[in-house]
Structures are given as structure tokens and as C-alpha cells.
Structure 1
Amino acid sequence: MGFFKKSIILDIEDSTKPRNLVETIKAVEKYCAKNNQTCKFISDNEVEIDGVLYEIADPEGVVMRGNYFVKIKEK
């Protein structure tokens, strides 16, 4: 059951434009640096943060109030 899995919404530099892989990596690395955590990208849609595996949501599905974001969810 995935009801209580942690999700994180991350800002990208220019939230008015759809994100790409480079923007995603920057957003995750910025989040990890700010929170003193380590991150390692497993694939284009998976990242490990402090030993916890997260799935990166599809770019098309993460639009809120007309702006684009990066959403990662614990696997």
C-alpha cells in the first residue's frame, strides 16, 4: 500500500516552462544540498536520497496553478 509514502514537490528555476532532465537534476541536487542529504540518480526517473529510493513523476503530470514542478515519491 502506498497511502503513507512520502512525496516531495520541488521548484525548478523557470517554473513557467516544462521541465527537462537537467532541470530535474538541478532541483533534486538543490533540495539535497539544502537539507544536507546525499543523492544518487539511479535512472532518469529514479533517485536515491539518503538511502531511500524515490520515483520521479512524469513532467506532464506536475502542473499546479499554471507552473511546473518536480514531484518525487518514495517507492
Structure 2
Amino acid sequence: MANGRRTRPGTPSCPRRRGDRGHPVLASEGSDHRLRTWARDTAAALPNGTHRSLPGEWHGVAPADLAAAISAFCLDA
């Protein structure tokens, strides 16, 4: 357990888990306008929300692109 939460073996916990550090909202560039708008609006409504569009098909992002985005958020890159 890390920070009182279960993590999968070999999966480090994200040091930015606390809500005051922000909330990433990720969306696929290939999703329809409605989903992209909801993602952008959700990020705007959250305290310290950030929106990022990633390359991908409808409602899907390549695992490597998703991992890079999450790592960047967790590591403050």
C-alpha cells in the first residue's frame, strides 16, 4: 500500500495524488466534439484542473501516449 491505497506490484504511486495539486483530464483528439468539450469543461470546473488532448482514435489513446501524459503529471515534468 502506498499512501493508504493499494497499488499493483511494480506500480509506483503518483506523488501528486492530493487534490490540491491538480486534476488532469485527458481526452483523445479523435473523439467527437461533444466528448472533447466535456473534457475541457470538466477540467475548467475542477480546482487546478488541467486539460490535455492526446493523439488517438475515438475515445482511445495509445498506451505509450497515455503513460507519458500520466508520468508527466506525476513527475511534474
User: Is the shorter-chain TM-score for this pair beyond 0.5, marking a shared fold?
Assistant: no
Name the TM-score, length of structure 2 as normaliser.
Answer: 0.32
Q: Which has the higher strand share?
A: 1
Name the TM-score, length of structure 1 as normaliser.
Answer: 0.33
Q: Which has the higher contact order (CA 8 A, sep 6+)?
A: 1
Q: Looking at CA atoms only, which structure, 1 or 2, has the larger radius of gyration?
A: 2
